[in-house]
Amino acid sequence: MTTTEPTAAAPTAETAAEVPAASRSTDAAPRRRGYGARWAAVPRELGYLLLGFPIAVVAFTVLVTLFSTGVSLIVIAVGVVVVLAALYTARGLGAFELMRLRWAGRPPVREPRWQRGPEGEGAWASFLRPLIDGHYWLYLLHGMVVFPIVSLFSWIVTVVWVSVALGGLTAWIWDRLLVQTTSGSVLQDSLLFRAFARLAEALGVEPIVLAGVGQFVLGAVLLLTLPFITGGLTRLHEAVDRGMLGAWRSEALERQVAQLSASRGAAVQAEDAALRRLERDIHDGPQQRLVRLQMDLAAIERKLDVDPEAARVLLGEAREQARDTLDELRALSRGFAPPLLQDRGLASALESLAARSPVPVTLEVQATDAALPAAIERNAYFIAAELLTNAVKHASASAVRLRLSTRDTGPSGLWLDLWVTDNGHGGAAVVPGHGLAGLDERVRGLGGLLVIDSPAGGPTVIGAHFPYVRERTAIEPVPPTAR
């Protein structure tokens, strides 16, 4: 059986798997770049800086026109609509500015999560919501005031720096093409040339030679420092955009709290469902056998003196009942946390689980971390057992592939990936109150993500992804307290 498993990507900010990573900021500082890499970024940074001021002029004109018109008409309903149009326009221009910043090679700025009203909110309340959203007003302030000022400053510095650098390097060419005056070229009439002339007279050299050398050196210095200027100005824009156009840290904390609350609720529901199922299994299996065993022992007690042979037969049946009851109890405990899992780890426990399966199971264990937390191992084993049972009982699969691997995604941390693939008839889906819904709640309770790909006709590919923190394998020495 050959199937292709979906790639397990690190969850994004909008997925449930972001819970362990919600406190991390995507606004990480870039790595240090060499001088050559800085020069490679100069064309994009120049394009960003030179286009910034014209775009700022257009943004300033549009936003000031809309906002001033809306404020002047605020006494009537039209003014409110025009102000809202200014806010939405500012949001669009801000998003365009963030896109230009990414095009310039800067790390992406996480955009705000624009507020959405609660369910059942009226159309007018939803329409007027931007008026009470601080991000819209920050975007408007950025487009009307801050962006034009910063863009004008960076545009002037960039134009002057580039023009002086190129002009100094090429002065010996274009100086001959300038309009000649009575005393020489226009360049020779400049204050800079006169300063060079006085210096040349003191040094005893020709003024035109010293002026040419000085301009060439000045142009070379400015050109060599151009990558630092463009990079610094681009970072200036980035700092302003992060502060005014980016998401607030409080929003990330609010998302984290909401997601942790959802995960905790999912974990509680999953544990409650597991306990209810365990209670039902004990009631339907071992409890019934124990009731029969009690009745058999009572019958043995009555017949022990009257009919020893019948009592001996009943003793054999009671022994079988006790053995079957013990086997069922072991099977129930094995479904949650078998002793092998605690003694030898997740990989060995899955090998035992695959060996007991009524259908052939191909087990693949790739780079499994030996320091997995006990809660992750226990839940991963439980989910693997449940998925194997579902593949046999509900999907009518004749072959199953079980794959376990760990990966280090860097910023997203460590992840345990569990894939179960079967060749059954497919059609698996998360339905409230059914088995896969409970597994999904269990995975989300650990901050993970359950991925299901089960088209009609099969095959079915289900992946459970768990974030985890590597457990310490030894007691680390405690540093002495500073005295």
Which pLDDT score, from 0 to 100, does residue 86 have? 92
Residue 43 has pLDDT above 80, yes or no: yes
Residue 19 has pLDDT above 50, yes or no: no
Secondary structure class of 413 (helix, strand, coil): coil
Residue 453 has pLDDT above 80, yes or no: yes
- pLDDT of 152-195, one tens digit each? 999 999 999 998 888 878 876 766 665 454 444 445 455 555 66
Residue 54 has pLDDT above 90, yes or no: yes
Answer yes or no: are the C-beta atoms of 204 and 160 closer than 8 Å. Answer: no
CA distance 64 to 303: 103
Secondary structure class of 337 (helix, strand, coil): coil
Nearest of 319, 318, 339, 325 to residue 281 by alpha carbon: 325
Helical residues (DSSP H) of 28-119, grouped into ranges? 35-72, 77-103
Burial 421-433 (b: 16+ CB within 10 A, else e): bbbbbbebeeeee
Secondary structure class of 104 (helix, strand, coil): coil
- pLDDT of 284-333, one tens digit each? 566 666 777 777 777 777 777 777 777 777 777 777 777 777 766 666 55
- pLDDT of 123-156, one tens digit each? 677 778 888 888 889 999 999 999 999 999 999 9
The torsion angles phi and psi of 282, rounded to 5 degrees, stand at -65, -40
Say which residues have a Cβ less than 8 Å from residue 45's Cβ, sequence separation at least 6: 104, 105, 230, 231, 233, 234
pLDDT tier at 64, thresholds 50, 70, 90 = very high
SS (H, E, C) 440-476: HHHHHHCCCEEEEECCCCCCEEEEEEEEECCCCCCCC
Least confident of 172-181, 407-416, 446-455: 172-181
Answer yes or no: are the C-beta atoms of 234 and 49 closer than 8 Å. Answer: yes
Answer yes or no: are the C-beta atoms of 456 and 23 closer than 8 Å. Answer: no
pLDDT, greater one: 264 or 214 = 214
HSE-CB of 321 using CA atoms within 13 angstroms = 19
How far are the Cα atoms of 45, 142, 149, 236, 394 from residue 51, in angstroms, in the given order? 10, 17, 14, 15, 61
CA distance 299 to 378: 42
Which pLDDT score, from 0 to 100, does residue 178 have? 59
Residue 391 has pLDDT above 80, yes or no: yes
Secondary structure class of 300 (helix, strand, coil): helix
pLDDT tier at 441, thresholds 50, 70, 90 = confident
Peptide bond into 459 cis (omega under 30): yes
CA distance 150 to 200: 40
pLDDT tier at 483, thresholds 50, 70, 90 = very low
pLDDT tier at 100, thresholds 50, 70, 90 = very high
pLDDT, greater one: 458 or 91 = 91
First to last CA, the chain: 66
Average pLDDT over residues 79-100: 91
Nearest of 228, 243, 18 to residue 109 by alpha carbon: 243
pLDDT tier at 12, thresholds 50, 70, 90 = very low
Mean residue pLDDT across the chain: 75
How far are the Cα atoms of 228, 370, 371, 468 from residue 471, in angstroms, in the given order? 44, 9, 5, 9
Least confident of 50-54, 449-453, 472-476: 472-476
- pLDDT of 196-231, one tens digit each? 666 666 666 665 666 667 778 888 888 899 999 999
- pLDDT of 336-373, one tens digit each? 556 677 677 788 888 888 887 888 888 888 865 567 77
Instruction: Read off the tokens for 415.
Output: 């992840």
